[in-house]
Amino acid sequence: MKKDVIIIGAGASGLVCAAVAARRKRAVLVLEHMKRCAGKIRVSGGGRCNFTNLHAGPENYRSENVHFSRSALSQFGPSDFIALVEQHRIRYREKEDGQLFCEKSSEEIIGMLQQECTEAGAEILLPAHILSVDRKHGFDVLTDRGRFTADSLVVATGGLSYPTLGATGLGYAIAKKFGIGVIPLRPGLVPFEFRQADLMVFGQLSGLSLNATLFCGKRSFTGSILFTHRGISGPAVLQSSLYWNKGESIVIDLLPGTDLREYIISKRPSTMTVANALANFLPRRFVRTLLEPVEASKTLSQLSNKELQVLSERVHTWRLEPKDTEGYQKAEVTLGGIDTHELSSKTMEAKKVPGLFFAGEVIDVTGHLGGFNLQWAWSSGYVAGLHV
């Protein structure tokens, strides 16, 4: 079967690309190996789809080429996707920091994208497993449902995160087949695992959360930290994982915005114990774990200046070296991917393989937590759809 455009992957970027290309009167076929479209959209935002962020800009993305996302975001930004959502009368709300969620369900966004494809005339074939991709007179895609050819091929296969939803390395394999570079891959937006010694001490805190600032290299993130039975998670941790390399330490300020040393000095002389003083700011379970028994029972007036300094440093600069991350099973995104230097930032087309496009998570552009990754999917899918 001959088409103008074949898109591999019926996820966020693939569906947007299909609708846009089909509205340009291109004959479009989307091939998806799962039985349903858009698995990652379905689980996004706890099932309510954090579909964009009002503040999405290049500074919210991790990439070897920090400027690559600028063009696509300017061509199709948050306001453009919001307009589409409103056109389909989907109710939404802002949760915090510009994060937009559906009032009801992620299924509304999936239904919207499928309707856009149907009305534009794009065909979606699923399940269809890709057996081979070649380039002869056009792009030749062999599947278990037949052989298809097209002038343009869009790889919108996603990354390696969420393997239970069908994630595979197909997109990277296609890139390598055509001689296109791939930046090394690793899990992103993922919890950290404790080393054994730290697990013995802090593993008992599973379920406890507190607000903190994490410093990872030159980046810092403030938000909730959640202790798990394996390590730490929560928004601040997931954000930090985008910039962490194995073997590095992270530094945690357990009392952001509060100077513990000044607070204790202001309370002297006092019979308040160190443990009770910290419990004014931190969960008591955590305080009991953080402090030695002798230290916890001392009164503020008994603390020497040196002891106070040591305590302050421990609270404001708690240094932790994770054993590793929890891997792709728990990761929300994949860091790395198709080398952006190989692509046109305006079209998503491979510079040395005319007609071959990439879109979405498969590219080396990874957003922060909070709707940025879906916005990248919409933006990159849209510009690819304009040019296939």
Q: What is the CATH number of the domain that holds 305?
A: 2.40.30.10
> Within this chain, do residues 99 and 64 fall inside the same structural domain, yes or no?
yes
Residue with tokens 């305080």, as numbered in its chain: 287
Report the domain count for the chain.
2
Backbone angles phi, psi at 38, to 5 degrees: 55, 50
> Within this chain, do residues 172 and 209 fall inside the same structural domain, yes or no?
no
> Within this chain, do residues 183 and 198 fall inside the same structural domain, yes or no?
no
**231-233 and 192-193 strand pairing:** antiparallel
For residues 107 and 38, what is the distance between their CA atoms, to the nearest angstrom?
Answer: 9
- 371 vs 111, 158, 269, 332, CA distance in Å? 19, 16, 49, 11
One-letter amino acid of 147: R
**Shortest CA distance to 234 belongs to which of 225, 243, 242?**
225
Last residue of a domain, one of 325, 345, 368: 325
> Within this chain, do residues 36 and 143 fall inside the same structural domain, yes or no?
yes
For residues 110 and 309, what is the distance between their CA atoms, to the nearest angstrom?
Answer: 54
CATH code, domain carrying 66: 3.50.50.60
Name the pTM for this structure: 0.95
Show the tokens assigned to 233: 């998670």
> Within this chain, do residues 208 and 256 fall inside the same structural domain, yes or no?
yes
pLDDT of residue 217: 87
Last residue of a domain, one of 300, 325, 350: 325
The domain in which residue 111 lies consists of 2-187+333-387
> Within this chain, do residues 112 and 177 fall inside the same structural domain, yes or no?
yes
Beta strands in 32-113 (DSSP E): 50-53, 61-62, 92-94, 99-102
Residues of the chain with pLDDT under 70: none
pLDDT of residue 270: 84
pLDDT of residue 222: 96
For residues 274 and 8, what is the distance between their CA atoms, to the nearest angstrom?
Answer: 60
- 279 vs 255, 273, 310, CA distance in Å? 11, 10, 18
Last residue of a domain, one of 273, 297, 325: 325
Polymer length of the chain: 388
CA dihedral 301, 303, 308, 310 (to 10 degrees): -170
> Within this chain, do residues 176 and 208 fall inside the same structural domain, yes or no?
no
> Within this chain, do residues 114 and 21 fall inside the same structural domain, yes or no?
yes
One-letter amino acid of 211: N
> Within this chain, do residues 138 and 244 fall inside the same structural domain, yes or no?
no
Show the tokens assigned to 300: 């503020």
pLDDT of residue 242: 97
Mapped onto helix, strand or coil, the DSSP state of residue 227 is strand
DSSP H/E element including 309: helix 305-316
pLDDT of residue 14: 98
> Within this chain, do residues 265 and 164 fall inside the same structural domain, yes or no?
no
Show the tokens assigned to 382: 């849209």
For residues 385 and 164, what is the distance between their CA atoms, to the nearest angstrom?
Answer: 28
> Within this chain, do residues 134 and 19 fall inside the same structural domain, yes or no?
yes
The HSE-up count of residue 336 (CA atoms within 13 Å, CB side) is: 13
For residues 124 and 113, what is the distance between their CA atoms, to the nearest angstrom?
Answer: 12
DSSP alpha helices (H): ranges in 186-283? 196-202, 235-241, 260-267, 274-279
pLDDT of residue 138: 94
> Within this chain, do residues 69 and 115 fall inside the same structural domain, yes or no?
yes
Backbone angles phi, psi at 314, to 5 degrees: -65, -40
Residue with tokens 């054994």, as numbered in its chain: 196
pLDDT of residue 269: 84
